[in-house]
Amino acid sequence: MTENQEDKIRRAFAEKDWNEIKAENSWQIFKIMSEFVEGFEKMTKIGPCVSIFGSARTKPDSRYYKLAEDIATKLTLEGYGVITGGGPGIMEAGNKGAKAGKGKSVGLNIRLPFEQSSNIYVDLDKNINFDYFFVRKTIFLKYSQGFIAMPGGFGTLDELFEALTLVQTSKIAHFPVILVGSEYWGGLLNWIKSTMLEKEHNINTQDLELFHLVDTADEAVKILNDFYSHYLLKPNF
């Protein structure tokens, strides 16, 4: 544990008087509101988009980087905009592909002490910075008409399962959720089926239909096109 992490724990347990609590919470509320307002104002002007999730640590020579770039290009050629977390790795690949396809390239960047800064392929007028993960995730989910999960870490899993939960509970429509890379996701999906479903009965058989597993860009784009050939595009919620 770093000194900065220990300091955060100490501050969380430090005693505060009522005035300190009230002042701190009030300013935090205004900051959160300002992030929502900026996100809503910018995103309502953009139109239908697909979110691409994935690791910030993926290198440009990775096959998954190249695959994410290809998917994004094909999406923009079909008329979709692309939303990513705005950072490096898979996010950069998504924005780069969107640029190559001359489509809308959106970056929802989170301010972190490591890993992340906005990549150069995000459209300047579509680059939004956040301090709060939950605000950022709300914008992702509200303005996406499809979700593509490339290989990634805890953040990718967080975004993926948030999307699946909202679809499962009908808080958003049953938009396509697409996992790319059977080699990467296969173990997780086997565990979901064998343990969550068959052993513990924590999900229903129908829940396995909430997502698709593919290995190519063409497969991913076809799922989205087949789905939206029947529906009009509009923001969630």
pLDDT band at 237 (very low <50, low <70, confident <90, very high): very low
Domain count along the chain: 1
Q: How far, CA to CA in Å, does 35 sit from each of 13, 21, 32, 130, 142?
A: 27, 21, 5, 7, 14
Q: Which of 108, 171, 174 is nearest to 140 (CA)?
A: 108
Q: What is the mean pLDDT of residues 70-82?
A: 96
Q: Is residue 234 part of a domain?
A: no
Note whether residue 233 is domain-resident. Answer: no
Residue 237 in any domain: the answer is no
- Tell whether the model's pLDDT for residue 233 goes beyond 70: no
Name the pLDDT band for 232 (thresholds 50, 70, 90).
low
User: Do the domain assignments include residue 59?
Assistant: yes
pLDDT at 37: 95
Pairwise pLDDT comparison (227 vs 232), residue with the higher score: 227
The per-residue pLDDT for 7 is 67
Interval 212-230 mean pLDDT? 94
Average pLDDT (10-34) is 72
- Alpha-helix runs per DSSP H in 173-231: 182-191, 217-228
pLDDT at residue 36, as a whole number: 95
- 40-65 pLDDT per residue, tens: 999 988 888 999 999 999 999 999 99
pLDDT tens per residue across span 94-111? 999 999 999 999 999 998
Task: Identify the CA nearest to 183 among candidates 219, 213, 223, 217.
Answer: 213
For residue 235, tell me if it sits in a domain: no
Rounded Cα distance, 29 and 122, in Å:
28
Pairing mode of beta strands 81-84, 49-53: parallel
The residue among 109 and 26 whose pLDDT is bigger is 109
Tens-place pLDDT, residues 132-191: 999 999 999 999 999 999 999 999 999 999 999 999 999 998 999 999 999 999 999 999
Whole-number mean pLDDT of the chain? 90
In this predicted structure, the answer to whether residue 16 has a pLDDT above a threshold of 60 is yes
Whether residue 68 lies inside any domain: the answer is yes
The candidate with the shortest Cα–Cα distance to 177, out of 132, 206, 201, 146, is 146
Contacts of 197 by beta carbon, 8 Å cutoff, 6+ apart = 203, 204, 205, 207, 208
In a domain, 206, yes or no: yes
| DSSP H/E element including 212 | strand 212-214
**Residue 21 pLDDT exceeds 70:** no
CB atoms within 10 A of CB 211: 19
What is the rounded radius of gyration, in angstroms, for the C-alpha atoms of the chain? Answer: 19
Q: What average pLDDT does this structure show over 17-21? A: 58
Q: Decide if 220 is inside a domain.
A: yes
Angle at 68 between CA 64 and CA 69, to 5 degrees: 115
Look up the CATH number of the domain holding residue 202: 3.40.50.450
Question: Which residues span the domain enclosing 39?
Answer: 3-228
Q: Is the dihedral of CA 70, 76, 79, 80 positive or negative?
A: positive
| pLDDT of 215 higher than 60 | yes
Residue 219 pLDDT > 60:
yes
